[in-house]
Amino acid sequence: MKSPRQFAIDVLVATAQKGQPVDQVFDRQQSGQPFGDPRDTHFAMAMIYGVLRWQGYLDQVIAGFSSHPLAKMKPLTLAALRVGAYQLLFMDRVPASAAINETVQALKMAGQPKWLTGFANGLLRALARGKDQLLPASSREALFLGHPAWLVARWQQRYGDEVAEAICRANNELPLLVLRVNTRRSGRPEYIRLLADAGIEAEAGIYAPDAVRLIGYRGAVTALPGYGEGLFQVQDEAAQLATLLLGDLVVGRYLDGCAGLGGKTSHLAQLLPIGGEVVAVEPHSGRSKLLRENLTRLGLDATIVAGELQDFAQEQPQSFQGIIIDAPCSGLGVVGRQPDIRWQRAKGDLPRYATRQLALLGQAASLLAHGGVLVYATCSTEPEENDEVINAFLATHPDFVRADAKAFLPAAAHGLVDSQGCLRTLPHQGLDGFFAARLEKA
């Protein structure tokens, strides 16, 4: 069985080489080698996510102690050095000797030559001796190094240095776990009391009426009280607010055109009056399976269509009163929860996402009844995927108008609505970075 450090190194290498989400890589590799002690799982996860959050900063530190350019290092070597450096700089409870020796041992177990393990050992020991002289991780420069330079530059230009720093700081902190109470089976006060009885600290959400924020919880979601009984769904408050932009639901037909795992599908089904119908379109078979399982656990109904929205639209089904398009996007608003995203995206990706997003809006528009509502949402902070997509859509669809989101959100969320009437959140506000617009069809 691999040690947690070996496991962490392997996951980091596979994530970088395959460009796949780190949580999927983690789950896939752990299924082949489950740890006997849950503490080992948590330790490996802490190292993996910590390295991804601070990768740029760690690389600068390593470069300062290395006689070899990082660009010429093998992925395995660099991943091991990052894991060792992260332990030395951020994990105070791990003795320096253990951080160094066990990381070097992981390289030995991977069959690396003696000269390379000696190089790693010497570098990490030098770092341990000199770490007090390094740039503090709390500094603005270090926080900016924890993000791609192109992305930091965009945030600085758009928001200024202070807000850019606040965003980076929030992205490098452990995010709160946020739930949406399934009001078909429980109320928010009742569920918070259930958590308290289990010794779990929680509080009501700030912005969304059914949100619950867990304070300091680091256990498995499946271990939370009421999981098997379907009392809640994991969902950030920003995403919960996006669904509310559809307004008060009536007995009719509603569509989630990019359902994914079903956070918004289940929210629609939860809010829909008896006699209404929710249809969820999801092309990926694995996600469709998990979507169905989530709905079953929550005791909610929806018709799941396996396929692309474009194909569904060509079937000319009966029109919908409301449609939500939570479009595939760069994910640059959720790099706090998924830190690998920041290193897997480039500025040149944004136009490609925007083209797809605009096409999805057009397909959804053809399915919407007159007088209906189309909600467009992304978990991105970038205007190419948000404002520019909406403006391009409205320019070619004169029968649609953009409505003021304030009229459909709780008063507590009105400060999250911009001058164009769109919902816009940023990580330093205690939310995922999110954008949503309500479009009404004449």
Torsion of the alpha carbons at 32, 33, 37 and 38, rounded to the nearest 10: -50
Calpha distance 257→254 (Å, rounded): 9
**Tokens describing residue 234:** 């994991």
Handedness of CA 418, 420, 421, 427 (dihedral sign): negative
Mapped onto helix, strand or coil, the DSSP state of residue 264 is helix
Per the DSSP assignment, residues forming a β-bridge with 325 are 376
Please give the backbone phi and psi of residue 110, each rounded to the nearest 5 degrees, phi first: -85, 5
Residue among 266, 263, 253, 241 at smallest CA distance from 375: 241
Length of the chain (residues): 442
Question: How large is the greatest C-alpha to C-alpha distance in the chain, in angstroms?
Answer: 72
Per the DSSP assignment, residues forming a β-bridge with 232 are 181
Calpha distance 119→398 (Å, rounded): 65
Catalytic residues: 379
Q: Are 210 and 204 in contact (CB under 8 A)?
A: no
Q: Are 202 and 213 in contact (CB under 8 A)?
A: yes
Rg (CA), the chain: 23
Residue among 130, 107, 134, 132 at smallest CA distance from 120: 107
**Tokens describing residue 280:** 């969820």
Q: Are 312 and 281 in contact (CB under 8 A)?
A: yes
Burial class (CB in 10 A: 0-12, 13-18, 19+), 395: exposed
CA atoms within 13 A on the CB side of 182: 23
